[in-house]
């Protein structure tokens, strides 16, 4: 099946607008009736045209216009109908079967609870409607069911025995519609907005999960306050509901007034959630809440503009997390993720611009490029116009576009109008795919220091020639004593090649380039190990301080792999110094002690002109870890003891940072004591961070058989903790045993593969086990391909998203390339393949 792509250039405004929507749901697992009453009027800005509504998998019972029955023509994607050339009321009744909906788009069931997911195009599986984001209307919803809790968007209006009515006064596109019905309990609180409005907050969960909501509720209140303080944005309804659901394709969804969350990102207690889980919950709660303004009040004109809401909202949640925790640590973590996911995407067959210009299935564009690179673009914009310019632009954006379905052009115009800055060239960040390479050379003579840059962006699918982009390069200079002589200065590069000079220097300085990771580019500069160690010791910019250590470790690993070199004393000494430097934040030290991932190393080898072998990378990384452990052996027991957190478990940044450093020490220590300390910690652990941290250390060194059994016995009834049990075993199994471990676990009675979290915890975690996935016999490729084909039959969206496991094929040797492409061809040829996975297989193979 080959579907025609949808093009940004084909955009046309809707022919019909909607003034009001009323929906009635008569819920029944196998035969839910949806009655709709929709007031249409011709769009005055468009010539009259045909009346077409989207709809998929709906059984039409009856339809009428102004009360007179009509017989529309129905096809696979919707209906057409003759309508009068004036405002009219459309009514329809359709039947759907939520219990048969395994794709988890539209109205579906999870543990006897009704739930919806409409972004991007799920509403058309609920009723016939112009399912596009530029059609916005107020919704009134009536739910009829004998389930005790019946929720929809907006404010509750009335309720009785077996029914409830909701009204959302804020015009919204259909993708923000939500409905939940189930046997749920609420954990509640109140929030008073800056202007004194009382808002009722509820987190709805299954009975028994009430004790795991406190952290999410607290994060929600902090998010609401932060958005008032930082962006002047208040909440605008009487209630804010969050529902936790176990079967969910994504992280969470920002439906107006009724956020629906993957339970993984709501439920947390010290016993069941790790520090990382708590941090993610805080960030995702904030992200979805912030969408109320950036996404809901101002939405996207069409799905090509997805980065308008996602890039901005990711940027906002990153700012929030930085304010709540540590900006330095948060920035490093965000860049680690950007490189692991977005740079990887940008370097492969799936590379696409932040604002794509064509798609077959929009679900395939909820990508790291749209989200994470989209956020980086906003960070650059803020750096270029300054904090005051950014604030003025955002104020204007909210004033000018409240209630609009807007575009990237609208967004940039706001910045131009508020700051007077021409952003014509800057806009290329939205249209050009690929990660720019920034080559740096320098020169020093007669007290003048010159930094010269050249930018070049590699070819990406459909884009051969790239134009120069505006790159804000934050730079600082240090003198040979380690003192900063030029504080952070932003150089604005606009040409393909450009030089910048600094005068009046007594000696050749050491440059600190791209401070704070001021642009999503790859810096290429010949640098010595001494210079990297110098910056790791002296740089005042925390990001570049970390980056120097990172680069040093990469250089050492590359030389170990390509030349058989020994681990360098320079790196080992530098790590010893940082690890033992109590003036540094423990969380920062833990990040410095973390070696680059094996996937990251594979790409670094490619960038150095080498062909990576995942088995060699794995073995070499282990060798380096052991060398570090030996070199730090005097320090590790002290570090482990010092970083113990006194008192009861608290998920705050301070304690989490201490535990992170403690577990770095434990991981190295385990290579020296055969896991003795980790075994003791596992036995004594009273929180999941300590328990899972010790468990991971044991699996890493090939131990932990008893703990694997004990962990299962302890947590067999907790679905979220059990996901961790599957994921750790799949992710940390030794390469030669990884595929067979996963095959065995896939037969486990608790491997409920139709649940997206569980599927990701086993098959997804296996795909991140680089050496295990890429074994030379191709067993890993076959295993993942088989599972993707199987999952595609029930949940195309999740199957398509997980096919990115294959996006790195061009990196590897000819044999691996052939095997990965063969696996993709086999997927592509499968009869009845979904549009989602079909498009991904085509793009992955470069078709």
Nearer to Zn ion, 153 or 313 (CB): 313
Q: Are strands 32-42 and 258-262 parallel, antiparallel or unpaired?
A: unpaired
CA 383 to mean position of chain CA atoms: 23
CA distance 548 to 592: 9
Q: Residue 119 corresponds to which tokens in the numbers above? A: 């972004």
Nearer to Zn ion, 310 or 539 (CB): 310
* Interface with Zn ion: number of residues (CB under 5 A): 2
Site for Zn ion in 298-337 (CB under 5 A): 310, 313
Among 321, 292, 307, 282, smallest CA distance to 366 is for 307
Angle, CA 754 vertex, CA 117 and CA 249 arms, to 5°: 30
Nearer to Zn ion, 430 or 766 (CB): 430
Is residue 93 within a helix (H) or strand (E), and if so which, with residue range? Answer: strand 88-96
Nearer to Zn ion, 265 or 711 (CB): 265
Cis peptide before 139 (omega within 30 of 0): no
Residue 662 and residue 639 in contact, taking contact as beta carbons nearer than 8 Å: yes
Nearer to Zn ion, 258 or 440 (CB): 258
Q: Are strands 437-445 and 522-524 parallel, antiparallel or unpaired?
A: parallel
Considering the complex, what minimum distance in angstroms separates the CB of residue 374 from Zn ion?
A: 10
CA distance 499 to 448: 12
Residue 700 and residue 663 in contact, taking contact as beta carbons nearer than 8 Å: no
Residue 570: CB atoms within 10 Å? 17
Alpha-carbon torsion angle 294, 297, 301, 307, nearest 10: 10
Residue 450 and residue 500 in contact, taking contact as beta carbons nearer than 8 Å: yes
Considering the complex, what minimum distance in angstroms separates the CB of residue 287 from Zn ion?
A: 6
Considering the complex, what minimum distance in angstroms separates the CB of residue 802 from Zn ion?
A: 20
CA distance 770 to 510: 36
Among 244, 335, 250, 322, smallest CA distance to 286 is for 322
Nearer to Zn ion, 310 or 599 (CB): 310
Indicate if 288 belongs to the active site. Answer: yes
Q: Which of 165, 288, 333, 345 is catalytic?
A: 288
Considering the complex, what minimum distance in angstroms separates the CB of residue 199 from Zn ion?
A: 21
Largest CA distance in the chain: 89
Q: Which residues contact 365 (CB under 8 A, 6 or more apart)?
A: 303, 306, 352, 356, 359
Residue 632 and residue 668 in contact, taking contact as beta carbons nearer than 8 Å: yes
Nearer to Zn ion, 310 or 707 (CB): 310
Query: DSSP letters of 489-512?
Result: EEEEE-SSEEEEEE---SSPPEEE
Q: Are strands 299-300 and 179-182 parallel, antiparallel or unpaired?
A: unpaired
Nearer to Zn ion, 320 or 766 (CB): 320
Nearer to Zn ion, 313 or 797 (CB): 313
Residue 199 and residue 192 in contact, taking contact as beta carbons nearer than 8 Å: yes
Among 803, 846, 760, smallest CA distance to 248 is for 760
Which CB contacts under 8 angstroms, 24+ apart, belong to 84-87? 85/42, 85/48, 86/41, 86/42, 87/19, 87/39, 87/40, 87/41, 87/42
Nearer to Zn ion, 104 or 513 (CB): 104
Considering the complex, what minimum distance in angstroms separates the CB of residue 302 from Zn ion?
A: 17
CA distance 302 to 11: 8
Nearer to Zn ion, 367 or 689 (CB): 367
Over its C-alpha atoms, the chain yields an Rg (Å, rounded) of 27
CA distance 203 to 63: 37
CA distance 77 to 163: 31
Among 508, 505, 511, 506, smallest CA distance to 527 is for 511
Q: Which residues bind Zn ion (CB under 5 A)?
A: 310, 313
Give the residue numbers annotated as catalytic, written as ranges: 288
């Amino acid at each position: 099946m080959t579907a025609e792509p949808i093009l940004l250039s084909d955009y046309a405004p809707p022919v019909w607008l909607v003034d009001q929507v009323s929906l009635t749901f008569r819920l029944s697992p196998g035969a839910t009736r949806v009655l709709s009453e929709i007031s249409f009027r011709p769009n005055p800005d468009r010539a009259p045209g045909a009346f077409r509504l989207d709809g998929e998998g709906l059984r039409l019972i009856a339809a009428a216009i102004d009360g007179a029955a009509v017989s529309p023509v129905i096809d696979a994607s919707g209906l057409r109908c003759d309508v009068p050339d004036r405002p009219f009321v459309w009514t329809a009744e359709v039947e759907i079967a939520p219990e048969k909906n395994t794709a988890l788009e539209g109205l579906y069931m999870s543990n006897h609870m009704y739930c919806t997911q409409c972004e991007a195009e799920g509403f058309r599986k609920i009723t016939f409607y112009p399912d596009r984001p530029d059609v916005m209307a107020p919704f009134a919803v009536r739910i009829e069911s004998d389930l005790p809790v019946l929720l929809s968007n907006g404010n509750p209006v009335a309720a009785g025995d077996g029914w409830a009515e909701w009204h959302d006064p804020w015009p919204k596109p259909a993708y923000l519609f939500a409905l939940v019905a189930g046997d749920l309990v609420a954990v509640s609180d109140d929030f008073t907005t800056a202007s004194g409005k009382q808002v009722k907050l509820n987190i709805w969960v299954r009975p028994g999960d009430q004790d795991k909501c406190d952290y999410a509720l607290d994060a929600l209140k902090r998010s609401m306050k932060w958005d008032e303080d930082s962006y002047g944005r208040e909440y605008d309804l009487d209630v804010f509901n969050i529902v936790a659901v176990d079967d969910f394709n994504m992280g969470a969804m920002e439906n107006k007034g009724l956020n629906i969350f993957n339970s993984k990102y709501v439920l947390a207690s010290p016993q069941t959630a790790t520090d990382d889980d708590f941090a993610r919950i805080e960030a995702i709660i904030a992200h979805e809440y912030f969408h109320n303004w950036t996404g809901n009040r101002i939405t996207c004109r069409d799905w090509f503009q997805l980065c308008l809401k996602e890039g901005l909202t990711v940027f906002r949640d990153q700012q929030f997390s930085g304010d709540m925790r540590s900006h330095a640590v948060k920035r490093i973590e965000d860049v680690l993720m950007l490189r692991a996911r977005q740079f990887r995407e940008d370097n492969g067959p799936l590379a696409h611009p932040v604002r794509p210009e064509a798609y077959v299935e929009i679900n395939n564009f909820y990508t790291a490029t749209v989200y994470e690179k989209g956020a980086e673009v906003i960070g650059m914009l803020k750096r270029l116009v300054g904090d005051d310019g950014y604030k003025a632009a955002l104020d204007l954006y909210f004033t000018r576009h409240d209630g609009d379905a807007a575009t990237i052009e609208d967004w940039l115009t706001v910045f131009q109008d508020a700051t007077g800055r021409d952003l014509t060239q800057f806009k290329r960040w939205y249209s050009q795919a690929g990660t720019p390479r920034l080559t740096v050379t320098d020169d020093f003579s007669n007290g003048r220091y010159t930094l010269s840059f050249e930018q070049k962006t590699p070819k990406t699918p459909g884009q051969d020639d790239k134009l120069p982009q505006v790159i804000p390069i934050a730079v600082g200079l240090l003198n040979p004593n380690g003192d900063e002589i030029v504080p952070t200065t932003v150089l604005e590069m606009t040409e393909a090649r450009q030089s910048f000079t600094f005068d009046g220097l007594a000696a050749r300085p050491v440059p600190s380039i791209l401070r704070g990771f001021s642009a999503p580019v790859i810096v290429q500069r010949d640098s010595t190990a001494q210079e990297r160690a110098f910056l790791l010791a002296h740089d005042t910019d925390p990001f570049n301080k970390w980056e120097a250590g990172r680069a040093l470790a990469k250089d050492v690993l590359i030389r170990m792999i390509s030349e058989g070199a020994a681990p360098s004393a320079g790196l080992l000494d530098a790590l010893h110094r940082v690890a033992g430097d109590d003036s540094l934040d423990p969380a920062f030290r833990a990040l410095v002690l973390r070696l680059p991932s094996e996937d990251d190393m594979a790409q670094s080898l490619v960038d150095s002109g080498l062909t990576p072998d995942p088995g060699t990378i794995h073995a070499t990384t282990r060798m380096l870890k052991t060398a570090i452990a030996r070199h730090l052996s005097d320090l590790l027991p002290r570090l482990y003891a010092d970083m113990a957190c006194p008192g009861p478990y608290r998920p705050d940044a301070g304690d989490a940072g201490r535990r992170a450093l403690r577990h770095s020490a434990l991981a190295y220590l385990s290579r020296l004591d055969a896991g003795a300390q980790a075994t003791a910690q596992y036995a004594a652990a009273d929180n999941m961070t300590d328990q899972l941290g010790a468990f991971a250390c044991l699996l890493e060194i090939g131990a932990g058989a008893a703990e694997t059994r004990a962990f299962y016995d302890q947590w067999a009834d907790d679905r979220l903790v059990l996901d961790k049990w599957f994921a750790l075993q799949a992710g940390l199994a030794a390469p030669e045993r990884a595929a067979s471990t996963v095959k065995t676990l896939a037969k486990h009675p608790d491997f409920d593969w139709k649940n997206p979290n569980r599927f990701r915890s086993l098959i997804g975690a296996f795909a991140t086990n680089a050496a295990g996935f890429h074994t030379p016999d191709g067993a890993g490729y076959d295993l993942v391909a088989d599972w993707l084909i199987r999952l595609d039959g029930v949940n195309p969206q999740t199957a398509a998203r997980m096919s990115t496991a294959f996006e790195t094929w061009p990196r590897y040797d000819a044999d691996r390339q052939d095997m990965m492409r063969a696996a993709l061809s086999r997927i592509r040829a499968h009869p009845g393949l979904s549009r989602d996975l079909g498009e991904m297989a085509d793009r992955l193979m470069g078709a």
